[in-house]
Amino acid sequence: LGLSGAPEAGDSAVVVPDERKAREIALFRQGKFRDVKLASQHAALGNIFTQMEEGAVNTLNLVVKADVQGSVEALRDSLTGISNDEVKVKIVASGVGGINESDVNLAMASKAIMIGFNVRADASARRLIQENDIDIHYYSVIYHVIDEVKQALSGMLSPEIKEEIIGLAEVRDVFKAPKIGAIAGCLVLEGVVKRSAPIRVLRDNVVIYEGELESLRRFKDDVATVNAGTECGIGVKDYNDVKAGDQIEVYERVEVAKTID
Protein backbone atom coordinates (compact mmCIF):
# COMPACT_ATOMS: atom_id res chain seq x y z
CA LEU A 1 0.00 0.00 0.00
CA GLY A 2 1.65 3.23 -1.17
CA LEU A 3 0.72 6.57 0.41
CA SER A 4 1.71 10.05 -0.74
CA GLY A 5 2.30 11.15 2.85
CA ALA A 6 2.65 9.76 6.35
CA PRO A 7 -0.77 9.25 8.01
CA GLU A 8 -1.43 10.41 11.56
CA ALA A 9 -2.32 7.96 14.32
CA GLY A 10 -6.09 7.51 14.38
CA ASP A 11 -6.64 8.47 10.72
CA SER A 12 -9.32 6.36 9.03
CA ALA A 13 -8.83 4.52 5.74
CA VAL A 14 -11.85 4.44 3.42
CA VAL A 15 -12.17 1.76 0.75
CA VAL A 16 -13.87 2.91 -2.46
CA PRO A 17 -14.67 0.98 -5.63
CA ASP A 18 -12.59 3.03 -8.05
CA GLU A 19 -10.27 6.00 -8.50
CA ARG A 20 -13.08 8.31 -9.65
CA LYS A 21 -14.95 7.88 -6.39
CA ALA A 22 -11.77 8.34 -4.36
CA ARG A 23 -10.97 11.56 -6.23
CA GLU A 24 -14.48 12.94 -5.73
CA ILE A 25 -14.40 12.38 -1.98
CA ALA A 26 -10.86 13.74 -1.69
CA LEU A 27 -11.68 16.89 -3.64
CA PHE A 28 -14.83 17.42 -1.62
CA ARG A 29 -12.98 17.15 1.67
CA GLN A 30 -10.36 19.60 0.45
CA GLY A 31 -13.05 22.07 -0.50
CA LYS A 32 -11.93 22.20 -4.15
CA PHE A 33 -15.01 20.72 -5.78
CA ARG A 34 -16.54 23.19 -8.24
CA ASP A 35 -19.78 24.96 -7.30
CA VAL A 36 -22.91 23.50 -8.81
CA LYS A 37 -25.74 25.82 -9.84
CA LEU A 38 -29.18 24.27 -9.33
CA ALA A 39 -31.95 24.95 -11.78
CA SER A 40 -34.83 24.03 -9.47
CA GLN A 41 -35.84 22.54 -6.14
CA HIS A 42 -37.66 19.27 -5.59
CA ALA A 43 -41.34 19.79 -4.78
CA ALA A 44 -41.20 17.49 -1.76
CA LEU A 45 -38.42 19.52 -0.19
CA GLY A 46 -40.51 22.61 -0.77
CA ASN A 47 -43.37 21.08 1.22
CA ILE A 48 -41.15 20.51 4.22
CA PHE A 49 -39.81 24.05 4.07
CA THR A 50 -43.35 25.44 3.83
CA GLN A 51 -44.08 23.70 7.12
CA MET A 52 -40.94 25.26 8.57
CA GLU A 53 -42.07 28.70 7.44
CA GLU A 54 -45.43 28.18 9.16
CA GLY A 55 -43.66 27.32 12.39
CA ALA A 56 -44.60 23.63 12.31
CA VAL A 57 -41.02 22.51 11.77
CA ASN A 58 -37.72 24.09 12.83
CA THR A 59 -35.61 20.97 12.45
CA LEU A 60 -35.20 19.20 9.12
CA ASN A 61 -34.72 15.48 9.71
CA LEU A 62 -32.79 13.46 7.13
CA VAL A 63 -32.08 9.77 6.64
CA VAL A 64 -28.94 9.41 4.52
CA LYS A 65 -27.79 6.26 2.71
CA ALA A 66 -24.75 6.15 0.42
CA ASP A 67 -22.59 3.72 -1.51
CA VAL A 68 -19.41 4.09 0.57
CA GLN A 69 -18.55 5.26 4.08
CA GLY A 70 -16.56 8.20 2.76
CA SER A 71 -19.64 9.61 1.06
CA VAL A 72 -21.73 9.06 4.19
CA GLU A 73 -19.23 10.97 6.31
CA ALA A 74 -18.89 13.81 3.82
CA LEU A 75 -22.65 14.24 3.55
CA ARG A 76 -23.26 13.94 7.27
CA ASP A 77 -20.59 16.48 8.19
CA SER A 78 -21.60 18.99 5.53
CA LEU A 79 -25.37 18.78 6.00
CA THR A 80 -25.24 19.17 9.77
CA GLY A 81 -22.91 22.12 9.25
CA ILE A 82 -25.67 23.99 7.41
CA SER A 83 -27.58 24.47 10.67
CA ASN A 84 -27.80 27.91 12.28
CA ASP A 85 -29.87 29.67 14.95
CA GLU A 86 -33.06 29.61 12.88
CA VAL A 87 -33.01 26.25 11.13
CA LYS A 88 -31.39 22.97 12.03
CA VAL A 89 -30.51 19.93 9.95
CA LYS A 90 -30.52 16.68 11.89
CA ILE A 91 -29.24 13.41 10.48
CA VAL A 92 -31.58 10.89 12.11
CA ALA A 93 -29.67 7.96 10.64
CA SER A 94 -26.99 7.31 8.04
CA GLY A 95 -25.35 4.25 6.62
CA VAL A 96 -23.79 2.40 3.70
CA GLY A 97 -25.87 0.33 1.30
CA GLY A 98 -29.22 0.31 -0.44
CA ILE A 99 -32.39 1.68 1.14
CA ASN A 100 -34.48 -0.96 2.89
CA GLU A 101 -37.75 -1.17 4.83
CA SER A 102 -36.05 -0.36 8.12
CA ASP A 103 -34.73 2.90 6.66
CA VAL A 104 -38.19 3.82 5.40
CA ASN A 105 -39.85 3.01 8.72
CA LEU A 106 -37.32 5.18 10.50
CA ALA A 107 -37.99 8.04 8.08
CA MET A 108 -41.72 7.67 8.69
CA ALA A 109 -41.33 7.67 12.47
CA SER A 110 -39.09 10.75 12.45
CA LYS A 111 -40.86 12.56 9.58
CA ALA A 112 -37.57 12.66 7.72
CA ILE A 113 -36.64 13.15 4.10
CA MET A 114 -34.68 10.25 2.65
CA ILE A 115 -31.52 10.89 0.66
CA GLY A 116 -29.94 8.17 -1.43
CA PHE A 117 -26.45 8.87 -2.75
CA ASN A 118 -25.52 6.42 -5.53
CA VAL A 119 -27.92 3.90 -3.97
CA ARG A 120 -31.56 2.94 -4.58
CA ALA A 121 -34.44 1.54 -2.56
CA ASP A 122 -35.16 -2.18 -2.85
CA ALA A 123 -38.57 -3.45 -4.02
CA SER A 124 -40.16 -3.71 -0.57
CA ALA A 125 -38.83 -0.29 0.42
CA ARG A 126 -40.14 1.26 -2.80
CA ARG A 127 -43.58 -0.16 -2.12
CA LEU A 128 -43.57 1.25 1.41
CA ILE A 129 -42.36 4.62 0.13
CA GLN A 130 -45.15 4.79 -2.43
CA GLU A 131 -47.86 3.66 -0.01
CA ASN A 132 -46.89 6.25 2.60
CA ASP A 133 -45.87 9.08 0.27
CA ILE A 134 -42.36 9.30 1.72
CA ASP A 135 -40.07 12.05 0.41
CA ILE A 136 -37.02 10.43 -1.15
CA HIS A 137 -34.35 11.95 -3.37
CA TYR A 138 -31.51 10.34 -5.30
CA TYR A 139 -28.18 12.03 -6.06
CA SER A 140 -24.85 11.15 -7.60
CA VAL A 141 -22.87 14.34 -6.85
CA ILE A 142 -22.28 15.39 -3.25
CA TYR A 143 -22.62 19.10 -3.91
CA HIS A 144 -26.02 18.58 -5.53
CA VAL A 145 -27.31 17.43 -2.15
CA ILE A 146 -25.65 20.17 -0.14
CA ASP A 147 -26.47 23.05 -2.49
CA GLU A 148 -30.12 22.07 -2.83
CA VAL A 149 -30.69 21.76 0.91
CA LYS A 150 -28.77 25.00 1.49
CA GLN A 151 -30.75 26.86 -1.17
CA ALA A 152 -34.09 25.71 0.19
CA LEU A 153 -33.17 26.44 3.81
CA SER A 154 -32.02 29.94 2.82
CA GLY A 155 -35.50 30.59 1.50
CA MET A 156 -36.95 29.78 4.92
CA LEU A 157 -34.78 32.20 6.90
CA SER A 158 -36.49 35.33 8.21
CA PRO A 159 -35.51 38.29 6.02
CA GLU A 160 -33.23 40.97 7.39
CA ILE A 161 -34.70 44.47 7.59
CA LYS A 162 -32.40 47.20 6.29
CA GLU A 163 -32.85 50.92 5.79
CA GLU A 164 -32.27 52.43 2.36
CA ILE A 165 -32.03 56.21 1.93
CA ILE A 166 -34.11 57.15 -1.10
CA GLY A 167 -34.10 60.94 -1.00
CA LEU A 168 -32.61 64.08 0.53
CA ALA A 169 -34.18 67.54 0.62
CA GLU A 170 -32.71 70.81 1.89
CA VAL A 171 -34.83 73.34 3.77
CA ARG A 172 -34.52 76.74 2.06
CA ASP A 173 -37.16 78.62 4.05
CA VAL A 174 -39.84 78.01 6.68
CA PHE A 175 -43.40 79.30 6.59
CA LYS A 176 -46.05 79.21 9.27
CA ALA A 177 -49.43 77.95 8.13
CA PRO A 178 -52.60 78.36 10.22
CA LYS A 179 -53.83 75.07 11.75
CA ILE A 180 -50.89 73.23 10.16
CA GLY A 181 -47.76 74.67 11.72
CA ALA A 182 -44.36 74.97 10.09
CA ILE A 183 -44.08 74.26 6.38
CA ALA A 184 -40.56 73.82 5.08
CA GLY A 185 -39.89 75.16 1.62
CA CYS A 186 -37.42 72.61 0.27
CA LEU A 187 -35.36 71.68 -2.75
CA VAL A 188 -34.99 67.96 -3.34
CA LEU A 189 -31.24 67.41 -3.75
CA GLU A 190 -31.11 63.66 -4.31
CA GLY A 191 -33.45 60.82 -5.16
CA VAL A 192 -37.14 61.17 -4.39
CA VAL A 193 -39.24 62.39 -1.46
CA LYS A 194 -42.22 60.11 -0.84
CA ARG A 195 -45.20 61.25 1.19
CA SER A 196 -45.62 57.78 2.71
CA ALA A 197 -41.97 57.17 3.65
CA PRO A 198 -40.44 57.78 7.11
CA ILE A 199 -38.03 60.70 7.46
CA ARG A 200 -35.26 62.15 9.61
CA VAL A 201 -34.49 65.82 10.14
CA LEU A 202 -30.75 66.54 10.10
CA ARG A 203 -29.05 69.67 11.42
CA ASP A 204 -25.33 69.96 10.76
CA ASN A 205 -25.41 66.25 9.82
CA VAL A 206 -26.84 65.31 13.22
CA VAL A 207 -30.25 63.61 13.48
CA ILE A 208 -32.53 65.84 15.56
CA TYR A 209 -35.89 64.25 14.78
CA GLU A 210 -37.31 61.02 13.35
CA GLY A 211 -40.88 60.69 12.22
CA GLU A 212 -43.09 61.03 9.16
CA LEU A 213 -44.47 63.66 6.84
CA GLU A 214 -47.68 65.49 7.59
CA SER A 215 -47.90 66.91 4.08
CA LEU A 216 -46.06 67.10 0.76
CA ARG A 217 -47.01 69.78 -1.75
CA ARG A 218 -46.03 71.19 -5.12
CA PHE A 219 -47.40 74.72 -5.18
CA LYS A 220 -50.94 74.22 -3.83
CA ASP A 221 -51.32 70.59 -4.85
CA ASP A 222 -50.90 67.62 -2.54
CA VAL A 223 -48.55 65.12 -4.18
CA ALA A 224 -47.29 61.62 -3.41
CA THR A 225 -43.72 62.09 -4.64
CA VAL A 226 -41.27 64.85 -5.56
CA ASN A 227 -38.13 64.12 -7.57
CA ALA A 228 -34.61 65.56 -7.40
CA GLY A 229 -34.19 69.10 -8.67
CA THR A 230 -37.75 70.05 -7.74
CA GLU A 231 -38.99 72.46 -5.08
CA CYS A 232 -41.74 71.45 -2.69
CA GLY A 233 -43.41 72.23 0.61
CA ILE A 234 -42.94 69.71 3.41
CA GLY A 235 -44.82 69.51 6.67
CA VAL A 236 -43.24 67.26 9.30
CA LYS A 237 -45.76 65.55 11.56
CA ASP A 238 -45.63 66.61 15.23
CA TYR A 239 -42.51 68.73 14.69
CA ASN A 240 -42.42 72.50 14.16
CA ASP A 241 -38.78 73.35 14.85
CA VAL A 242 -37.55 72.96 11.27
CA LYS A 243 -35.07 75.66 10.28
CA ALA A 244 -33.50 76.88 7.06
CA GLY A 245 -30.39 74.82 6.33
CA ASP A 246 -31.81 71.64 7.84
CA GLN A 247 -31.95 68.55 5.66
CA ILE A 248 -34.78 66.05 5.45
CA GLU A 249 -33.62 62.52 4.82
CA VAL A 250 -36.20 60.13 3.38
CA TYR A 251 -35.74 56.38 3.72
CA GLU A 252 -37.48 53.05 3.32
CA ARG A 253 -37.21 49.81 5.23
CA VAL A 254 -36.54 46.95 2.85
CA GLU A 255 -36.42 43.22 3.37
CA VAL A 256 -33.17 41.56 2.36
CA ALA A 257 -33.18 37.80 1.98
CA LYS A 258 -30.65 35.96 4.10
CA THR A 259 -28.60 33.12 2.69
CA ILE A 260 -26.77 30.21 4.23
CA ASP A 261 -23.14 30.33 3.12
Per-residue confidence (pLDDT) for residue 106, from 0 to 100:
94
Q: Please compute the mean of the pLDDT values over residues 163-173 and round it to a whole number.
A: 96
Query: Is 40 domain-assigned?
Result: yes
Top mean pLDDT of 10-14, 143-147, 222-226 is at: 222-226
Domain shared by 133 and 227, yes or no:
no
Query: Which of the residue ranges 21-35, 40-54, 66-80, 166-180 would you say has the lowest mean pLDDT?
Result: 40-54
Domain that holds residue 27: 19-156
Domain shared by 72 and 98, yes or no:
yes
Domain shared by 138 and 124, yes or no:
yes
Query: Is 13 domain-assigned?
Result: no
Domain shared by 39 and 142, yes or no:
yes
Domain shared by 113 and 233, yes or no:
no
Domain shared by 197 and 70, yes or no:
no
Give the domain-ending residue among 156, 171, 199: 156
Q: Please compute the mean of the pLDDT values over residues 184-195 and round it to a whole number.
A: 96
Q: Which residues contact 51 (CB under 8 A, 6 or more apart)?
A: 57
Mean pLDDT estimate for the chain: 83
Domain shared by 28 and 55, yes or no:
yes
Domain shared by 24 and 123, yes or no:
yes
Q: What phi and psi, each to the nearest 5 degrees, are found at residue 21?
A: -65, -40
Domain of 233: which CATH number? 2.40.30.10
Give the domain-ending residue among 141, 156, 171: 156
In this predicted structure, the answer to whether residue 11 has a pLDDT above a threshold of 80 is no
Domain shared by 23 and 143, yes or no:
yes
Top mean pLDDT of 19-28, 51-60, 133-142, 252-261 is at: 133-142
Burial classification of residue 54, based on how many CB atoms lie within 10 Å of its CB (0-12 exposed, 13-18 middle, 19 or more buried)? exposed
Domain shared by 139 and 183, yes or no:
no
Angstrom distance (rounded) from CA 120 to CA 163: 49
Q: Sign of the C-alpha dihedral, residues 150, 155, 158, 164?
A: positive
Per-residue confidence (pLDDT) for residue 34, from 0 to 100:
38
Give the domain-ending residue among 110, 136, 156: 156
pLDDT in tens, 62-82: 999 999 999 999 999 999 888
Domain of 111: which CATH number? 3.40.50.10050
Q: Please compute the mean of the pLDDT values over residues 11-17 and round it to a whole number.
A: 65
State what percent of residues in the chain have pLDDT above 90: 56
Per-residue confidence (pLDDT) for residue 158, from 0 to 100:
75
Neighbours of 183 (CB within 10 A): 21
Angstrom distance (rounded) from CA 236 to CA 40: 48
In this predicted structure, the answer to whether residue 40 has a pLDDT above a threshold of 70 is no
Q: How confident is the model at residue 9 (pLDDT cuts 50, 70, 90)?
A: low
Greater pLDDT, 99 or 13: 99
Structural domain count, the chain: 2
pTM above 0.85, yes or no: no
